[in-house]
Amino acid sequence: MPEVTTTISHIEGTTAARTQIRDHELVTDRPAEKGGGNQGPMGGELLVASLGGCFMSNLIAAFQGRELEPEGLTLTVRGTLDGTPPRFQKMALTVQGKGINREQMEKLIQIAERGCIVANTLKPFMDVEISIG
């Protein structure tokens, strides 16, 4: 069974942590108003970004697999927090693009949604809504 492994290390003298993923590094931290050094996004923000990055990667692949150019393609992801302790209750993705009709975009979104590992993981636990903006 495939696995994904990351290593997270505290950056000494700070409130931040360094995450190593393959050949990539990213820093997480809290904003100053939450007692952090604001050296990077918080984990919850990365969860929202992970969903967006995974979905967008699959959407671009769906475009390219049909020899379509993803012109002006943008994705906005909004995570809604609620509950005690707080957790994401909903993720809303809004796709915008040019050069293809709504029917084509809906089909490409459906393909991307099926292939998005992060969306597939989150859907049993929260609403994940995708719309065309």
Distance CA 131, CA 96 (A): 9
Q: Is the dihedral of CA 112, 118, 123, 129 positive or negative?
A: negative
Position 61 scores a pLDDT of 98
How would you write the pLDDT of the chain (133 residues) with one tens digit per residue? 899 999 999 999 999 999 999 999 999 999 999 999 999 999 999 999 999 999 999 999 999 999 999 899 999 999 999 999 999 999 999 999 998 999 999 999 999 999 999 999 999 999 999 999 9
How do residues 114-131 score in pLDDT, each as one tens digit?
Answer: 999 999 999 999 999 999
All structural domains of the chain = 6-40 (no CATH), 43-132 (3.30.300.20)
